[in-house]
Structure 1
Amino acid sequence: MVACEEDQARLAKGESVSALDEAANSGLVDPSDAHRLDDNALSSWMTANVEGFRGPLNASKFRGGQSNPTYRIQSADGVYVLRRKPPGPLVAGAHAVDREARVQRALSQVGFPVARIHGYCADKSVIGSEFYVMQLVEGRIFWDATFPGVSREERPSYFNAMCDVIAQLHSVDPASIGLGDYGKPGSYFARQISRWTRQYQDDPEAGRDANMDHLVRDLPGMIPAGDEVSIVHGDFRCDNLIFHASEPRVIAVLDWELSTLGHPLADFAYHAMMYRMPPHIVAGLAGADLAALNIPGEAEYIDRYCRATGREVIADWQFYVAFNFFRLAAIMHGIAGRALRGTASSAQAIERGKAFPELTALAVRALEEPS
């Protein structure tokens, strides 16, 4: 989610908000006809399936380009959040709101911080597509990775909280909470590199890049030996976390659309990539004075994750970082291609596509670092 300038400024300061409420793109709008809900049908379904629900209800859509349209549901008993598949023809396997609901419901069994899932509906006749209803979590979202609204003394505690939560996620046995079949186990890097290589090579209109060609050629032979499998979030960043209103504590992790079974070090390196990420691309710390801000450095952050997950060290760290810059570069390349063809859904697609060569350069730079 990307907030409007006013909301983004408020959120960067860490002001208390309702997540997926004022935090969502530019707040609320009346849904267009294509996205309008049948309030009566939805109210009937919630009465039958959501404990404690009392109608009538009023639905407003969060503005923005989320791939799964998200709504604020105001009812007589309180406020809920609804996420649905978008209407119309969809690519097979995309917009899997059932998976989002499933992983959050499963993780809640072991006390992992997620929004409570009130119900999932596979019956498309209710509102026109599958959907689920979840808790509206009150707290703070930080869109700036430097946490500017937090005191210098408290800032390390917020970073420790982020690190501890992703370590907690990777320590959960998927099979123990019914997620043993949540993805393909094993060979995660080989499959991912192959997938994103194909996307890059199959879209020549978006351009070619010498650094990307280098990564396509060399990354497959650099995959570290051994394998691990855990639940991975896929987009673990500070702006996908809800913090307690006044404490350095994560109370909910949002946006599970990319979650699957994968390699935990791929997921952690994506998160820790914030240390090298230019903030104009996505929430990042590149160029920030970490000492002045009292933010733990990359090495210290990695050490905390290792201690929380029972590791001594992370060998081949440069590969894990380079892989994630490569993956993100491939995604941006695809966005650039869709923008050129006029099929990109986001108004920022062209600007996002411009990040592609910058990301490939960062990937190659990571590989060139001494081990």
Structure 2
Amino acid sequence: MNAAALDLKTDRLANYLEQHVPGFQGPLTASKFAGGQSNPTFLIQAKSGKYVLRRKPPGTLLKSAHAVDREYRVMSALADTWVPVARVYHLCEDEQVIGSMFYLMEYIDGRVMWDPGLPELAPSQRAAIYAEMNRVLAALHSVNIDRVGLADYGKPGNYFERQIGRWTKQYRASETETIPAMEALMQWLPANLPEDDGQVALVHGDFRLDNMMFHPTEPRVLALVDWELSTLGHPFADLAYQCMQLRMDSRGVMPGLGGLDRADLGIPSETAYVREYCANRGIHSIPNWNFYLAFSFFRFAAILQGVKRRAIDGNASSERAVQLGSLVKPLADMAIELL
């Protein structure tokens, strides 16, 4: 993406925030965080302290994508629950301020761990990190959506049916070549939907290790971040999505645990991780597990196809966009192996 397109008009922004965020004082400086493919995120350093600003990218965007207003709403709703989130201060829907919608939230001084193999930690520490992730995921899926005001946060009906339809359309809108495995998945998934079991929960949509801020020294999540894809849906989608990523090659562009000895590392097996999740949720088992995994591979492939399209159009927020776009076909192939 053209760097100039992401530059923030700091004087105008400081004046705006002083008027809309209690206690905010400029002047300010802004620096973009590395990583992330969707909504550009900036460290704001002002006279009154540090903050984080998250904005929609400029340019032509896919319909319903980059929903920073949804992120703001769900993080506000979760402020007093067992799900750790950053405190949000203000949502600006006036695109004239910096060129696109944005929100301001607190800066959290914590650890982001990018490699799920956690090479810097001891086996006991790795086990504690995975147990904490499992706890946070179960807590998220246990949120009373009526009590926190999110009963209308998603559409009614079969979640997987709607998601397959949505991501098929998104994939078609950003398609750059014909991928046989994606064509096969778009036929197989809607034809093999599990019977709707009635479970409806708040789902994160991108639940993985590097979307969590951990305490600097403790195995404790301080904030689950990047809520753009959150909605009301089926809780098993989040669980399968995380397990899907952990199946990916440990040496890949987006590393997983594929090829690593999880027992030696102190990281639970997929079976053990799913069993612990069930215990945390108070449920017995998860039928149709391979369907949920295959769906997750398809959905992630469709998301990365959008990243690839934005890179081709010069509108991606990271230099890694082209590399990540190269994962579309391998992900689809891994899904086919599960059918």
TM-score for the superposition, normalised by structure 1: 0.82
The 10-residue stretch of structure 1 (167-176 or 356-365) with the greater mean CA deviation from structure 2 = 356-365
Note closer, same or farther for the CA distance 1:84–1:348 as it changes in structure 2 (3 Å cut).
closer
Contact 2:95 2:101 in 1 (8 A): yes
Residue 107 (1) aligns with residue 78 (2): yes
CA–CA separation in structure 2 for the residues paired with 1:91 and 1:221: 26
Separation of aligned partners in 1, 2:36 and 2:9: 22
In the alignment, does 2:238 pair up with 1:233?
no
1:234-249 correspondence to structure 2 within 5 Å: 234-249=205-220
Range with bigger deviation, 123-132 or 108-117:
123-132
Q: String of CA shifts for 1:228-257, please: whole Å, max 9, x gaps.
A: 221111111101111111111111111111
Question: Are residue 295 (structure 1) and residue 248 (structure 2) matched?
Answer: no
Q: Which residue of 1 aligns with 2:290?
A: 318
The answer to which of 42-51 and 110-119 deviates more is: 42-51
Q: Secondary structure at the match of 2:123?
A: coil
* Partner amino acid, structure 1, of 2:41: T
Show the counterpart of 1:362: 334
Answer yes or no: is the 8 Å Cα contact 1:104–1:114 preserved in 2: yes
Question: Which of 139, 143, 165 is equivalent to 1:172?
Answer: 143
What is the DSSP-based 3-state SS (H/G/I as helix, E as strand, rest coil) of the residue aligned with 2:229? coil
Deviations 1:283-327, CA, capped at 9 Å, x for gaps: 311111011111111111001110111110011111111111122
SS in 1 for 2:147: helix
Task: Using the TM superposition, give the Cα deviation of residue 109 of structure 1 relative to its aligned residue in structure 2, in angstroms.
Answer: 2.1
2:128 corresponding residue in structure 1: 157
SS at match of 2:78: helix
The one-letter amino acid of 1:218's match is: W
Task: Give how far 1:342 is off.
Answer: 5.3
RMSD: 2.4
- Does residue 285 (structure 1) correspond to residue 257 (structure 2)? The answer is yes
Shift of 1:215: 2.3
Matching residue of 1:327: 299
* Equivalent of 2:323 in 327, 348, 351: 351
Distance in 1 (alpha carbons) for counterparts of 2:173 and 2:97 = 39
Matched letter for residue 181 of structure 1:
D
Moved more, 161-170 or 192-201: 192-201
The answer to which of 280-289 and 200-209 deviates more is 200-209
2:185 is matched with 215
Distance in 2 separating the partners of 1:134 and 1:202: 32
Shift of 1:344: 6.3
Match of 2:31 among 47, 60, 63: 60
Deviations 1:176-208 (A, max 9, x none): 111111121331111222233345567775123
- Give yes or no for contact 1:186–1:228 (8 Å, CA) kept in 2: no
| CA distance 1:332–1:97, shift in 2 (3 Å) | closer
Give the aligned partner of residue 145 of structure 1.
116
Aligned equivalent of 2:44, options 73, 78, 81: 73
- Measure the CA separation in 2 of the matches of 1:166 and 1:135: 22
Q: How far 1:212 sits from its partner (Å)?
A: 3.1
Residues 216/152 of structure 1: CA separation in 2 closer, same or farther (3 Å cut):
same
Question: Which deviates more from structure 2 when the two are superposed, residues 200-209 or residues 263-272?
Answer: 200-209
Calculate the TM-score normalised by the size of structure 2: 0.89
CA separation of 1:186 and 1:135: change in aligned 2, threshold 3 A: same
Instruction: Assess if the C-alpha contact under 8 Å between 2:82 and 2:139 holds in 1.
Output: no
Q: Secondary structure at the match of 1:186?
A: coil
Judge conservation of contact 1:145–1:274 (CA < 8 Å) in 2: no
Q: Structure 1: give runs of 5+ residues left out of the alignment.
A: 1-30
Question: What secondary structure is seen at the aligned counterpart in 2 of 1:80?
Answer: strand
Q: Which runs of 5+ in 2 are unaligned?
A: none
CA shift for structure 1 position 263: 1.1
User: Is the 8 Å Cα contact of residues 253 and 323 (structure 2) preserved in structure 1?
Assistant: no
- Local SS of the residue matching 2:146: helix
- For 1:215, the aligned partner's letter is L
Letter in 1 for 2:194: P
1:50 Cα deviation (Å)? Answer: 2.1
**Offset at 1:92?**
4.2
Worse-superposed segment, 39-48 or 137-146: 39-48
